């Protein structure tokens, strides 16, 4: 999933609606790994909405048994993010290449 720069003017209700749509789509495919490229997202998320988003994603991850998730965010957001103990291995990155390497690198190690 990739967030685009147009998100600057996005409203909370639209954000919730779009994330709910993404969750329903992801449920259909039940991926083992989740890559969320949110580096270009300019939407200022409230703490209440952030809590709601985390609950929705954690419920999704449990439901479809996601093994790992990687999120690409801006460097300044990494410093602002208070990381909680995730239910699955999770990591934040500033670029998609590093996120993918971390995400699938362990798959290659497991197969070897």
Dump pLDDT digits (tens) for 19-50. 999 999 999 999 999 998 888 887 788 889 98
For 31-66, letters b (16+ CB in 10 Å) and e give eeebbbbbbebebebeeeeeebeeeebbebbeebeb
pLDDT at 16 over 90: yes
12-29 vs 47-64: helix crossing angle, rounded to 10: 10
Chain-wide mean pLDDT for the chain? Answer: 82
More confident residue, 83 or 106: 106
What total number of domains does the chain contain?
1
- Contact of 8 with 43, CB cutoff 8 Å: yes
pTM of structure: 0.64
CA nearest neighbour of 62 among 85, 86, 84:
86
Q: Name the residue range of residue 10's domain.
A: 5-111
Which helix (H) or strand (E) covers residue 56, if one does? helix 47-64
More confident residue, 87 or 83: 87
């Amino acid at each position: 999933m990739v967030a685009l720069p147009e998100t600057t003017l996005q409203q909370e209700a639209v954000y919730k609606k779009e994330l709910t749509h993404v969750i329903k789509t992801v449920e259909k495919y039940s991926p083992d790994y989740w890559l969320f490229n949110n580096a270009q997202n300019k939407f200022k998320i409230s703490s209440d909405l952030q809590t709601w988003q985390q609950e929705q994603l954690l419920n999704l991850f449990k439901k479809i048994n996601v093994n790992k998730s990687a999120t690409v965010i801006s460097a300044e957001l990494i410093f602002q993010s208070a990381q909680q103990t995730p239910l699955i291995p999770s990591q934040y990155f500033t670029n998609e290449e590093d996120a993918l390497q971390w995400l699938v690198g362990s798959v290659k190690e497991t197969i070897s």
